[in-house]
Structure formats: C-alpha cells, structure tokens
C-alpha cells in the first residue's frame, strides 16, 4: 500500500462501504431528490453521477431568492469497444424519452450517457439498461472503466481480435461485488433480504479499497489511433504480421487531467513499457493494475492517477515492480508507433460484401432540433434495417452490416431527417469534440458542447477563405481542465479557464502522439477564431511538405507563433 501519508476520506469511505453499498439502497427509498455526499461518491461505481441543472441554479424566484437546485442523475453505460446491437441502441433512445431528458449522449469513451434521470427513476433506468444486455457497472468510479477499441467493423482477423480483447479485458476487470445486483436488479423482497445480510465476496484485483483513482484502457492499431491510445493508463498498440496479431506494445502512464493552480498536476502521454505476446496481455495488465492499487497515491486524489506513479518512480523502476507482480521479466517494446488516425465517417466496405456507414454526431448529442432530427432519423433507420452499431471515440455512430442494395434508401432516410452526409461536413467539424460542460457538469467552469459548433462555423469560414478546408485539424474543447474530451493532444485544445475564457493549447496533432503547449491563456470565446487566423495563414504560407497545423505549431514554437500573430 502507498505510504504517501494519511489516506483521504474517500479511501475510508470505500473501505467501509460493504463493497460499494454504503447507504445507496436506503437513500433510494427516501423522498429527497438527491443522494448524500457519501452515497453520491459510491454511486459513481454503479455508473451514475449526481448533477443539478446549472442553468436553473442561476435563476431566481419572483421574490429574488435563489431557486432550489434541480437535481437529477447522469447514467453512463459501459460498452467495451462501443459495440451496440440494434435493440440496445433503440432501448437507449426509448429510455431517454421515457425516463431521461430527451437526449442520449455518446461519450468520448464509446459509451452512452443519459442526463436528467430523476432519483426516483434511477433504479428503473439501470434495470432497463441491464435488461437490454448492457450495464452501467464500472462505467465510473475508482475501477477500470470502459475498455476502448477501434470500432471499425472491418472483417479481418486483426480487427476481430482487438475487439474480442476489449471484451475480455472488460470482463476480467469487472468488480466482483454483488452490490450492483443487490441494489438495482433483484426484486423488492429478495433485495431487502440481501441488503440486510449482504454477501461479501473476494475482490481479487481491487481489494477492499478498490483503486486510488479511475483507470482507463484502450486498444489501437498503428495505422489508426482513433481511441487516443497514449492518453490511457494502459494503452495496447497491436503489432500485426500477415494479418495476425503477434504482440502488443504496452503503453503506460497516460492521462489528461490537470489543475492549473497546482503545478504538481499535469497531462501526460503514456510511455512504451514492454512488448507482450497476445496470451500475456490480460495477466500483464492485471500486474500493472495491481501495482497502481498498492502504490498509487491514496492521500491526494489530485495525484492519484497512475501517470503520477510512473512519473515519480521513472519507467525503469515501474517496470521492475510490474515484473515482480507478473512473475517474470518483460520483453522490451518494439519500434512501432502510431502513424495515422481515422474518424470512420462515411461509407466504407467491411470486407465481407457488406458496407458500414459512419454518421457524425456533433459532440455526441443524439437529439432532435429544428434543423436536424438525429434521434428520430437514427431510430427510423435502425428500426427498419436492424443493423448492429458501433460508437466511436469521437462521439459518433457507425451503422454496420449494410447490404449495398440498401445504401440509397438509407441515404434518403437520413437526408429526410436533415442528417448531413460525409461530403457536407468539413474535416474540422468531423475531428472536433467537446465535453458536456454546462448545464449538467458540476465541475465545468465555462461552456463547451453548446458553443463549439458556433466556433467551428467561424473556423470553417477562415480555413475556406485560406484554401485550407481539406486539411485535417483536430479541435477539442472542455469546460474545465479535467480533460474529458482529451484537449491536450490535438492540433488545437481549448480548456475552460474562467467564465467565458479559455486556455489555448497548440502543437499537438490529430494522431494523439504529442502533447500540446500553452499558447495563450484567458482568451475570450469570441476572440479565439481571430487569434487563430494569423497562425493558420502563416501555416499555409510556411508549412513544409505534409506538415499538419499541429506539426507546424510544434516546429515554430510559442514565441515564433506569437511573432507571427503580432
């Protein structure tokens, strides 16, 4: 166990929670619209966050007093590799209308989120998600969260194997506690009995306190890092020969969150630790997780992610301890790195005579608006053709296994609902991403999802004017520094700093292989596009062959960019 001093209050809460039960079940029965602070912390491990509508929080009653907080729950579904059947997708759409706020959000980790679920409807929502064959268990909390994987349904042995591995890892690292079943899934009478005399089971990986902080894994291919493999606690980069996987480079210590006022915190890219054979992957990952369990910082949650353990120890010591836990030496990583990234939007061949179609869902929000009936359109197409779907790490959706004869009809149906085809979307928009921020996220400092589309409109106009409209530029925006939309690796990262103002990061890339640097701070939203214009102009005029905007910014550096902007 880490000797970093006194453990935090949350560590004691987890240890005494009777394996994540706490008082959740009792509080579900009371009339309050919210959970206590302790119960809300444990609730995360079951896949739900307490939230309140921050738009309402700002409002006042007629007598000038503040309105009561409008409490609700966010419910997140864990979906390894983003694989969702037609029935499961339709069930989630039905749930958002029946028990949620009318929208479904695709997350940056290939899951679903429902917002606006009232506490009184939480048990029914979780039961219905499980009835569809999905789960919310371990979608949040101090455990291994959703295992990401390139979702493209290309029918090759390599693609099939990495998607199978995502499910294997998800199953292996699933918490064993029976609390989830006892609280949410069994009938009332049995539930009362089980809660009075809970069954305590062994947690062979997580122990009594679970992990010091959240833990993330992803699997990628060198030619397509669509899941940002270097931003994970454990990234697995598949190495293939003759269409078969011969090993994986294991990458450790990535993570995006930071606190600007605390220099001890920072975003980090993962580092190659070792190369392992396919049959070693699960056991080596378990050894890494257990090292983090036993040595991760349990006193200071701001430094509890594994990236800080790797940074503090150094990679050689970290590897040595992992080898002790694994029981044998590890082979050095191979000289394999990421070379590309795809968003999988548009029509593509699967390799088995069928097609798949990637549909851009801006910032992941499946909803109907006056211009676009995305929710209604997806419901119509999936209901008619019953195709399986995949969720992408850029918060979009893939429709799988499409008969080529149905292509024109599907295009027609989507067009009737205002859902734009690939050719009507700029690369800027396709590779953009934002976190939810206001009004639901309690950590958000400023807007993200609600303002990024307008900013992309401005940037599209500038790039079109400069003749750069066909260039791939990734823009990620978050409402706070926690980094949920991975803003520290793209060409342009925009991180909420104060109300209406952002820190501008430049010099990353769409492939996610390099950290960006702080270019400017406290930039008002309405000035961002104008401040980027001279830099985009300089890139157009000075770039080297094949040089992306992020590559150019990295080469020129902050001072050079500021000179060009003067």
Name the catalytic one among 96, 209, 480, 553.
Answer: 480
Counting other chains too, the contacts that 460-464 makes at CB distance below 8 Å and 24 or more residues apart are 460/426, 460/428, 460/429, 462/529, 462/532, 462/533, 462/536, 463/426, 463/428, 463/536
Which residues lie closer than 8 Å to 481 by C-beta, 6 or more apart?
A: 257, 258, 259, 260, 495, 496, 497, 503
* Number of Cβ atoms within 10 Å of the Cβ of 116: 19
Name the catalytic one among 435, 472, 514, 533.
Answer: 435
Name the catalytic one among 105, 119, 145, 305.
Answer: 145
Which residues lie closer than 8 Å to 201 by C-beta, 6 or more apart?
A: 19, 176, 177, 178
What are the tokens at 514?
Answer: 């390099």
The verdict on whether 484 is a catalytic residue reads: yes
Name the catalytic one among 375, 484, 497, 553.
Answer: 484
The verdict on whether 216 is a catalytic residue reads: yes
C-alpha to C-alpha distance for 348 and 343, rounded to whole angstroms: 12
Output the CA torsion sign for 489, 142, 391, 483.
negative
The verdict on whether 480 is a catalytic residue reads: yes
C-alpha to C-alpha distance for 244 and 389, rounded to whole angstroms: 25
Does residue 332 sit in helix, strand or coil?
A: coil
Spatial contact of 39 and 27, defined as CB atoms under 8 Å apart: yes
The verdict on whether 57 is a catalytic residue reads: no
Task: Enter the DSSP assignment of 119.
Answer: G
The verdict on whether 96 is a catalytic residue reads: no
Nearest CA among 528, 508, 510, 507 for reference residue 472:
510
Name the catalytic one among 21, 78, 194, 214.
Answer: 214
The verdict on whether 76 is a catalytic residue reads: yes
Active site residues: 76, 145, 214, 216, 435, 441, 480, 484
């Amino acid at each position: 166990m880490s000797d970093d001093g006194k453990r935090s209050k949350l560590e004691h809460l987890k240890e005494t929670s009777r394996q994540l039960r706490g008082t959740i079940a009792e509080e579900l029965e009371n009339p309050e619209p919210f959970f206590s602070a302790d119960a809300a912390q444990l609730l995360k491990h079951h896949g739900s966050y307490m939230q309140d509508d921050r738009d309402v929080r700002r409002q006042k009653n007629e007598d000038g007093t503040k309105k009561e907080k409008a409490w609700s729950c966010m419910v997140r579904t864990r979906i390894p590799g983003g694989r969702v059947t037609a029935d499961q997708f339709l069930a989630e759409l039905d749930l958002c209308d029946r028990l949620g706020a009318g929208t479904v959000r695709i997350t940056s980790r290939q899951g679903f989120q429902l917002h606006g679920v009232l506490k009184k409807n939480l048990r029914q929502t979780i039961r219905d998600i499980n009835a569809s064959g999905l789960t919310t268990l371990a979608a949040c909390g101090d455990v291994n969260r959703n295992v990401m994987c390139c979702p493209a349904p290309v029918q090759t042995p390599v693609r099939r194997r990495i998607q199978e591995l995502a499910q294997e890892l998800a199953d292996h690292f699933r918490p064993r506690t029976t609390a989830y079943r006892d609280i949410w899934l069994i009938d009332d009478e049995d539930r009362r009995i089980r809660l009075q005399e809970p069954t305590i089971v062994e947690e062979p990986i997580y122990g009594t306190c679970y992990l010091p902080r959240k833990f993330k894994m992803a699997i990628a291919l060198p030619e397509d890092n669509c899941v940002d493999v270097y931003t994970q606690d454990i990234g697995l980069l598949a190495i293939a020969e003759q269409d078969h996987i011969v090993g994986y480079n294991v990458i450790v210590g990535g993570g995006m969150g930071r606190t600007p006022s605390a220099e001890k915190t920072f975003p980090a890219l993962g580092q190659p630790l070792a190369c392992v054979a396919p049959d070693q992957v699960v056991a080596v990952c378990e050894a890494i997780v257990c090292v983090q369990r036993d040595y991760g910082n349990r006193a200071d949650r701001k430094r509890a992610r594994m990236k800080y353990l790797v940074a503090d120890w150094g990679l050689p010591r970290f590897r040595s301890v992992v080898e002790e836990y694994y029981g044998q030496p590890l082979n050095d990583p191979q000289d394999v790195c990421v070379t590309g990234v795809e968003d999988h939007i548009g029509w593509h061949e699967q390799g088995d005579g069928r097609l798949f179609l990637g549909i851009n869902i801006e910032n992941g929000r499946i909803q109907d608006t006056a211009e676009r009936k995305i929710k209604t359109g997806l419901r119509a197409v999936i209901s008619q053709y019953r195709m399986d779907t995949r969720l992408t790490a850029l918060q979009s959706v893939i429709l799988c296994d499409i008969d080529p004869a149905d292509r024109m009809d599907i295009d027609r149906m989507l067009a009737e609902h205002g859902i734009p085809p690939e050719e009507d979307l700029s690369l800027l928009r396709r590779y953009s991403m934002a976190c939810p921020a206001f009004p639901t996220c309690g950590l958000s400092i400023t807007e993200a999802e609600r303002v990024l589309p307008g900013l992309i409109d401005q940037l599209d106009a500038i790039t079109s004017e400069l003749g750069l409209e066909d260039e791939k530029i990734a823009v990620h925006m978050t409402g706070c520094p926690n980094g949920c939309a991975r803003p520290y690796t793209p060409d342009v990262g925009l991180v909420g700093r104060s109300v209406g103002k952002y820190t501008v990061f430049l010099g990353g890339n769409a492939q996610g292989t390099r950290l960006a640097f702080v270019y400017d701070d406290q930039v008002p939203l309405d000035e961002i596009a104008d401040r980027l214009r001279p830099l985009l102009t300089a890139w157009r005029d000075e770039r080297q062959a094949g040089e992306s905007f992020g590559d150019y910014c990295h080469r020129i550096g902050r001072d050079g960019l500021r000179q060009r902007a003067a």
